[in-house]
A and B are shown apart, each in its own frame.
Chain A
Amino acid sequence: MDAWVRFSAQSQARERLCRAAQYACSLLGHALQRHGASPELQKQIRQLEGHLSLGRKLLRLGNSADALESAKRAVHLSDVVLRFCITVSHLNRALYFACDNVLWAGKSGLAPRVDQEKWAQRSFRYYLFSLIMNLSRDAYEIRLLMEQESSACSRRLKGSGGGVPGGIETGGLGGPGTPGGGLPQLALKLRLQVLLLARVLRGHPPLLLDVVRNACDLFIPLDKLGLWRCGPGIVGLCGLVSSILSILTLIYPWLRLKP
């Protein structure tokens, strides 16, 4: 009970719960439609989803300020690539929230002349840019860690007298050139890279969580902008998974990826 009180005292936590519920409704609605459930039930689920969506827009009023503050803080990072990626991502998020506020004003009747479609498309565009920036940052971090890991492995091998390299320990980005490799050697290299990637991600849960979350989130604006129509089922599932993962980062702050 104490944990719930502490969790729900953060407004972001409540917004994430509503998001999870909204995408669960979307997924449920799609599943009910596929299995031919009663139109009454489908209407109820759609109505609940609409209420959740509007409620979330109200809960998000003022998040632009938060995103701008985060962008301001990110400008002071030491690494250039990280500084660029994170700052631009936060700025895009701030613009996304600003468009979202305009949409709320339109939906709640304050500004009835707002072109809902245009502003919705704008907001999803900014959201997409921010997710692309996040994924670029994740890719950069993964590459750094993979380089670190492979150099640590080769140091260990050198230290142990350089015996027969076993399995993933080679991490050979530029391994000893065996002449005439061709396809099998390429396949082996690829396999080693994939194994190294798996090792890196396994050893850094916050990074893994962030990658999965951003990848799942990516489907939503891609579908809404018409770039890659995946259907409401996939969108609902991805939205639900990413909401659950972000709730986890709120419950366990050590799972949050720190720059």
Chain B
Amino acid sequence: MDAFIRFTNQTQGRDRLFRATQYTCMLLRYLLEPKAGKEKVVMKLKKLESSVSTGRKWFRLGNVVHAVQATEQSIHATDLVPRLCLTLANLNRVIYFICDTILWVRSVGLTSGINKERWRTRAARHYCYSLLLSLVRDLYEISLQMEQVIHDKAKKEKSASQDPCGYSVADEETEWLQSFLLLLFRSLKRHPPLLLDTVKNLCDILNPLDQLGICKSNPGIIGLVGLVSSIAGMITVAYPQMKLKTH
């Protein structure tokens, strides 16, 4: 219970837990809706989802400052590609949080002259840009890890003085693909924070793509990927060493 309390004492921990609940409701609703006789349950799930989603806005208020601080920190990254990608990603997050705050002001009724659809589209667009840039950074880090794996393997083989195996003599396409996937798997296995971050960003990006109409999917898929990314987020909060660090 102590670990649960320490987890929920952090705003991010609670927020991820509620997010997981929200997307679980979305997924369950999609699965139960076609079934007959489940209307009451579906209605309750919808109400839970909407109240959790509204309540989560309170967790996001003031996150503009967090994003600005993250931008300042990412300017000091050593490598050029992560520095560029992360700074731009965090700038887009700042704009996303500003749009989100404006939507909140509209939703609590403090002002009525705000075009909800337009601001929602803006927020989704900037969220999408920030996720794309984070993914570019993840791909860059993956490529570095893959180079490292090849390098280590080559060193091991040189010292064992054996013929280089597998992928260096691959001629056929399927063998090349297989060895590429194996290399990718090995690099990600060595670096769990990178795997977690990549999975989280890939799952997260489907939601804004669906909202912007670029890649329409159904609520079931959105719910599933939202749940997976929330669980990945909860793991990074519960185990801070699993968070992807910038050097």
What residues of chain B lie closer than 8 Å to A14, measured between beta carbons?
11, 58-59
The answer for the CA separation of A68 and B1 in the assembled complex, in Å, is: 10
Choose one: A11, A55, A58, A109; the contact of B47 (CB below 8 Å). A109
A69 sits at the interface (CB 8 A):
yes
CB neighbours (8 Å) of A109 from chain B are 43-44, 47-48, 51
Q: Are B47 and A108 in contact (CB under 8 A)?
A: yes
Is B55 in contact with A54, judged by CB distance below 8 angstroms?
Answer: yes
Q: Out of A11, A62, A68, A107, which one reaches B11, CB within 8 Å?
A: A11
Give the complex CA separation of A138 and B74 in angstroms: 48
Q: Quote the shortest CB–CB distance from A229 to chain B (angstroms).
A: 29
A8 interfacial contact with B, CB 8 Å: yes
Say whether A12 contacts B55, CB under 8 Å: no
Question: A69 CA to B107 CA in the complex, in Å?
Answer: 36
Contact with A59, one of B55, B68, B107 (Cβ below 8 angstroms) = B55
Q: What separation, in Å, do the CA atoms of A5 and B11 have in the docked complex?
A: 11
Q: Please tell me the size bucket of the interface on A.
A: 20 to 34
Q: Is B30 an interface residue (CB 8 A)?
A: no
CA distance A66 to B9 in the complex (A): 9
| Contacting residues, chain B, for A62 (C-beta < 8 A) | 4, 8, 14
Q: Tell me how far the C-beta of B103 lies from the nearest C-beta in chain A, rounded to whole angstroms.
A: 13
* Per-position binary interface string of chain B over residues 27-59, scored 1 when its CB falls under 8 Å from any chain A CB and 0 otherwise: 000000000000000011001100110110111
Contact pick for B9, options A2, A10, A51, A104, CB 8 Å: A10
Query: Of the candidates B43, B52, B66, which one forms a contact with A58 in the assembled complex, judged by CB atoms under 8 Å apart?
Result: B52
- B-chain residues with CB within 8 Å of residue A108 when the two chains form the complex: 47-48, 51
A45 to B54 Cα, complex, angstroms: 18
**A227 contacts the other chain (Cβ, under 8 Å)?**
no
Check if A252 is an interface residue, CB within 8 A of chain B.
no
Structural contact, A4 and B62, CB atoms closer than 8 A: yes
B240 lies within 8 A of chain A by Cβ: no
A58 and chain B: residue at smallest CB distance: B55
Contact yes or no, A44 B110, CB < 8 A: yes
Q: In the complex, which residues 66-109 of chain A have their Cβ closer than 8 Å to any Cβ of chain B?
A: 66, 68-69, 104, 107-109
Which A20-60 residues sit within 8 Å CB-CB of chain B?
44, 47-48, 51, 54-56, 58-59
Shortest beta-carbon distance from A194 to chain B in Å: 40
Report how far A62 CA is from B13 CA in the complex, Å. 12
Instruction: Identify 27 residue pairs between A and B in the complex whose beta-carbon atoms are under 8 Å apart, listed by A's number.
Output: A1-B68, A4-B62, A5-B65, A5-B66, A8-B66, A9-B10, A11-B9, A11-B11, A11-B59, A14-B11, A18-B58, A44-B110, A48-B108, A48-B110, A51-B108, A54-B51, A56-B58, A58-B18, A58-B51, A58-B52, A62-B8, A62-B14, A65-B4, A65-B5, A66-B5, A69-B2, A104-B51
- Residues of A whose CB lies within 8 Å of any CB of B are 1-2, 4-5, 8-14, 18, 44, 47-48, 51, 54-56, 58-59, 62, 65-66, 68-69, 104, 107-110
15 further contact pairs, Cβ within 8 A, besides A1-B69, A11-B10, A55-B54: A9-B10, A9-B12, A11-B11, A11-B13, A11-B59, A44-B109, A51-B109, A58-B18, A65-B4, A65-B5, A69-B5, A107-B51, A108-B51, A109-B48, A110-B44
